[in-house]
Amino acid sequence: MADILTPALGESVTEATIGKWTKKAGDAVKKDEVLVELETDKVSLEVVSPADGVLSEIKAPDGETVVPGAVLGVVTEGASAAPAAEAPRTEAKAAPAPEAAPAPEAAPAAVSGGSVAIMTPTMGESVAEGTMGTWLKKSGDTVARDEMLVEIETDKVAVEVAAPAAGVLTIDAETGSTVTPGQQIGSIAASGDVAAAAPAAAQAPATPAAAPTGSDAPHLSPAVQRVVTENRLDPKAIAATGPKGNITKADAMNAIGAAAAPSPAARPAAPAAPRADQPREERVKMTRLRQTIARRLKESQNTAAQLTTFNEVDMTNVMALRSQYKDAFEKRHGVKLGFMSFFTRAVVAALKEIPSVNAEIDGADIIYKNHYDIGVAVGTEKGLVVPVLRDADTLSLAGIEKGIAALGKAARDGDLTLDQLQGGTFTITNGGTYGSLMSTPILNAPQSGILGMHNIVQRPMAIDGQVVIRPMMYLALSYDHRLVDGKEAVTFLVRVKDLLEDPARALLDL
């Protein structure tokens, strides 16, 4: 007999939680076959069989907490698995009701085809669980290999799960349930089982489809399918702009706006009575992303000594420079010249002069960052995300604009990776795109500074003894007063202001 032991879990990790066993007691196992996954607060570890034989005992069931060296189970070497006759009995349980009389034909197909498990994929470092989204198919439906089936939402990104094989789908984890990496969320009966599963599908109660499902209906990703379903859109009526002619989430969102705008012919129609078919209140469960945003912002407020200092910047010279060269810039670099590149360059220069704003507190230590990874806050339909522009100090204005445009598109399409959301040293948020005149942004912990941009407004200003109209923007710097003194914060913001009002200084490194 060979014990299955909990491996070393890494520095400072003292315990782990049992995920889901891939085998049950009595099953035959092979040496180095993955038997169970352990989850810690940092990583997930796979535990393999120490020998060929039979998993004779599971000592630590799913969900139990274990420590390094603990015995998880026992493998009896050289033993035989339970009689094979047990397999048909399991299939008989899953077979359709007695009305599906031709059982002799269905059983051989099920045995010969077998089934393929649909497992929750690894969702990234430090992501221990996710929430099942809406299945695009229902149990008993026929699916094709690599067809998108469901989207799993985590507190950072959404992960799409595709069919690992062609066949008939059986759903184990319903919409809204919590799942962990490596957990089985469904299975697909191989192509030989399609005939056996068809009667069960026929007996399922019919449900009205939210969108056309004919063979000529366009293929939709789970993110797009959710928008289409929730807003009752017709996929055939949506103009597709994605690669290979597929519909992107932006296409679906644009279609919502078009559908919401009433046509002239529709306007004379009598409006429905307000709230005639709606409750006065509606309770909706928060998404994981929204829960994480709420938790992290509150933690930031509770941890840091946050303070905000303000200034205003005259955008005349930046706007003139942008207006003069925007066409040539776009023709040369293939991207529009915006304000974010000027702000990013100014921020990086100011961070180099005031390094405490680019630092963070770790216990009793201060970590000074000698790299400049700038987080750019992006508002999406699911909530605020902050993808990171790496090594902004090494990028040209064109490189910054291209990087920010790519991050913004990935955020809106739900395609951001975990790596793109981690490791920022400073954040810029632009509330001016929504018309904000002034705000006090909350720190993106563990960072020590965040710059808030606002709306550009024509205001009368006193210049050299004369009142002139200038395009002005309020700037707000929120900072951690535990690390950044008021003098440093004000100096930082004044430096940003000077570089924006005279952009040639940034180009000349003055």
Q: Is 452 left (phi over 0), alpha (psi -120 to 50) or beta?
A: beta
Give me the amino acid identity at 48. V
Distance CA 201, CA 142 (A): 9
Active-site residue, 481 included:
yes
Active-site residue, 485 included:
yes
Distance CA 3, CA 455 (A): 65
**In whole angstroms, how far apart are CA 239 and each of 256, 301, 405, 412, 473?**
12, 44, 22, 17, 37
102-140 burial: b if 16+ Cβ within 10 Å, else e: eeeebeebbeebbbbebbbeebbeebbbbbbbebbbebb
Helix (H, G, I), strand (E, B) or coil at 10: coil
User: What token pair was written down for 198?
Assistant: 């068809």
Nearest to 235 by CA among 218, 222, 223: 218
For 92-161, what is the HEC assignment?
HHHCCCCCCCCHHHHHHHHHHHCEEEEECCCCCCCCCCEEECCCCCCCCCEECCCCEEEEEECCCCEEEE
Catalytic pick from 172, 481, 498, 502? 481
**In whole angstroms, how far apart are CA 235 and each of 9, 226, 273?**
48, 12, 29
Distance CA 296, CA 302 (A): 10
Give me the amino acid identity at 168. V
Catalytic pick from 62, 146, 234, 485? 485
Beta partners for residue 459, in sequence order = 470
Q: Is 22 left (phi over 0), alpha (psi -120 to 50) or beta?
A: alpha
Tokens 């962990």: give the residue: 180
Give me the amino acid identity at 104. P
Distance CA 496, CA 451 (A): 10
User: What token pair was written down for 162?
Assistant: 């595709």
**In whole angstroms, how far apart are CA 196 and each of 140, 143, 210?**
10, 15, 28
Q: List active site positions.
A: 481, 485
